[in-house]
Structure 1
Amino acid sequence: MSTADAASLKRRYDEVSPKYEQAPNQVAIKLFWLAYEHLTWKPVEALLPKDGTSWRVLDAGGGGGKFGTRFAEAGHHVTVLDISPGMLDGARAQFTAKGLLDRVAFVEGNVAALELPDAAFDLVFCEGDPVSYCMDAYPQAVKELVRVAKPGAPVVLGVDNRHEAFSYYMKSGKHAEAFKLLQDGKTTCPYGLPVHAFTVRELEQAVADAGADLLEIFGKPVMFFDMLNAMAASRGASAAQPWDAWAAREEILAQQEKLAHEGFAVLGQHFQVMARRRA
C-alpha cells in the first residue's frame, strides 16, 4: 500500500468512524450482517482454547471493536490495530462500555508494514478487508500477518471475492467494468475506496508464499438475498401474506453455515481464509 493510499484510507475511515457500526433497519440487511458475523466468528471461536488459557490476539484492522471485544470477553488479551485513529476511538469506546480496557492495547498501524515483533500472537485475525485495501501490496500484508503469528498459530483473513464483484457489476449493467475487474481484480468498497477482489488461487498462493498452511477458504454470506427470496417462495409468501424472516433467523443461519462450507465459496460476498503459520 502506497503512502498516498494509506493516507486516503486513514482519512476516509476517520470520516465514517462515528457511524461505522450503526445497525441497519431493514430486516433483510440486518439478517445479512447477522449471518456475516455468525459465519465469521463461529469457526474462529472453535479455535480458541477451552481450558481457560488466555491467548494474545491481534485484531488487525479491528477498529470499531466488534470482534475484538468478543475475544476479550472470552478471556483473551487483544491488540486492536487500525490505520484510522477515529476507528480506534470507536474501539476504545466499545471496550470501555463493556469494562474490558484491562484486556486490550490499541495500536495505530498499517497491516502491510506491522511495527510488531515476530511470533508475538497466538492468533492473528484480520477481518473487514484490510488485506483487500492493500491492493497490489496484498502479498506483503499476508506475509506480515503470518510473521507476527507464533509458529502453528491460526491466521484468519477476510477479503473481497472477485467472482461476486463481477456478478454484481454484470447484474448492474456495467459489463465493460465487469470484464476489467475480472482481469485485474480492482474494484471499490462501499466507502468508495479502491480494493483488490481476490480469486481463490490468489489466496492460496499468498498464504503459501507467506509461510502458512491453508486450512479452508469459505464464502460469507453465500447467495444470501437470493436464498432469502427462495425461502420466502417455498413458504408461499406474498404481498398479502409476507414471511417473517426475522423469526426464522436461526434457520437462515443454519442454511448459510451449510452453504458456506459446502463448496459455494465463490458465491459468497466475501472470502474467509483460515490458515496456520507453519511450525
Structure 2
Amino acid sequence: MSDPQRPRASLRTAVVWDVLEEALNRRVEATGRKTLDVLDTGGGSGNFAVPVARLGHRVTVVDPSPNALFALERRIAEADVADRVRGVQGDIHDLFDVVERGGFDAVLCHGVLEYVEDPAEGVRHAVEALRPDGVLSLLAAGLGGAVLARALAGHFNQALRALTDPAGRWGDADPVPRRFTAEQLTETVEAAGVEVGAVHGVRVFADLVPGVLVDTEPGALDALNRLEAAAAELPAFHSVATQLHVLGQKRG
C-alpha cells in the first residue's frame, strides 16, 4: 500500500511511510494481532495517523495544539476512521498524563525533538510508552540538509553558522530550534533502550529541486520519488538530508 497522500506531499512522506508500513506489518506477524495500538506524538492533523488507521490499527494522537486536533477530527471523519483514531491534547514531556505507559506496539515521534527543551527525555518517554519489542519511528530535522540549502541559496554565513552552532541554527530568524546529525539521533535512541534497525535520509533531493521541474516535467515526480527511496538508506546521503528517520525496536 502506497502513501495515499500524493502527489507533491509524497516527496516528504513516501520514504518514511513505506518503511513504517513494513515495520507495522512485521509487528502484526510477531504479535499475531491484526490490530495494533499506535501512538503518534506530535501527530498534528493526522498525516500519518489516518494512513495507519486505514491499515486497521488503533491510533492515539497526542499534540499540544487545539487547532491541530480540531483539524484531525475533521480529517478522520472524512477518511471514515473516526472509530480508530482519537486525539488528546498534550506533549512528549507530559506524555503519561494523557496516555498509558507501556501500552503501545508502535510509537511515532515525528517532528517533535526539534521543538522540545530536552530531546533525550522526549525519546525516553516515547520508548517508555512502548511495549517490549515495540517499534519506534523517529523523524527529526537534519543538520546537513540545512547547511547545504543555505549554501546553495548563497547564504554562506548562515550556512557556516548552522554548521558550527550547537543547535544547528543558521540565525535568529531560523524557524527550527534544533537540528541533529544521524549519529546524535542514533546515540540518543540507543541510550533510551532501543536497538536501531535502520537510518534513512529523508528529502535528500526534494528540497533542492525547483518545484517547476517536478510539476511540469512528465514522470519527474515518480522518478524523484524513486531516487529518494534509493538514496534513503545510503549513509553517504544522511549528511545532506533535510530530515533523518530512525527506526528501531525496544529491547525486550
- Under TM normalisation by the shorter chain, which class is it? 0.7 to 0.9
Match 1:261 to one of 233, 236, 240: 233
How far the C-alpha of 1:248 sits from its partner, in A, is 3.9
Give me the CA root mean square deviation: 2.7
Identity %: 22
Match 1:41 to one of 14, 17, 31: 17
- Mark the CA change 1:175 to 1:227 in structure 2 (over 3 Å): closer, same or farther: closer
The aligned runs of 1:14-53 (5 Å cut-off) are 31=8, 33-49=9-25, 53=34
Residue 256 of structure 1 aligns with an amino acid whose one-letter code is E
How far the C-alpha of 1:70 sits from its partner, in A, is 0.7
Match of 1:122 in 2: 105
- The count of corresponding residues between Structure 1 and Structure 2 is 237
Match of 2:224 in 1: 252
Match of 2:49 in 1: 68
Match of 2:127 in 1: 146
Match 2:146 to one of 155, 165, 182: 165
Superposed CA offset, 1:215-257 (max 9, x none): 111111212355679xx7xxxxxxxxx9943534333322211
Matched, 1:275 2:248: yes
How far the C-alpha of 1:102 sits from its partner, in A, is 1.0
Superposed CA offset, 1:45-70 (max 9, x none): 00123666100000111111121011
Residue 122 of structure 1 aligns with an amino acid whose one-letter code is D
How far the C-alpha of 1:200 sits from its partner, in A, is 1.5
- SS of 2:133's equivalent? coil
- Mark the CA change 1:56 to 1:178 in structure 2 (over 3 Å): closer, same or farther: same
Match of 2:89 in 1: 108
How far the C-alpha of 1:188 sits from its partner, in A, is 7.7
- Mark the CA change 1:86 to 1:54 in structure 2 (over 3 Å): closer, same or farther: same
Whether contact under 8 Å (1:95, 1:101) holds in the other structure is yes
Which segments of 5 or more consecutive residues in structure 1 lack a partner in the other structure?
A: 1-22, 25-29, 233-241
Match of 1:220 in 2: 202
Q: How high is the TM-score relative to the length of structure 2?
A: 0.84
CA–CA distance in 2 between the matches of 1:219 and 1:225?
A: 12
Match 1:204 to one of 175, 186, 200: 186
Whether contact under 8 Å (1:112, 1:138) holds in the other structure is no
Residue 202 of structure 2 aligns with an amino acid whose one-letter code is K
How far the C-alpha of 1:35 sits from its partner, in A, is 1.9
Match of 1:3 in 2: none
Residue 180 of structure 1 aligns with an amino acid whose one-letter code is R
- SS of 2:188's equivalent? helix
CA–CA distance in 1 between the matches of 2:196 and 2:42?
A: 21
Which segments of 5 or more consecutive residues in structure 2 lack a partner in the other structure?
A: none
- Mark the CA change 1:99 to 1:48 in structure 2 (over 3 Å): closer, same or farther: same
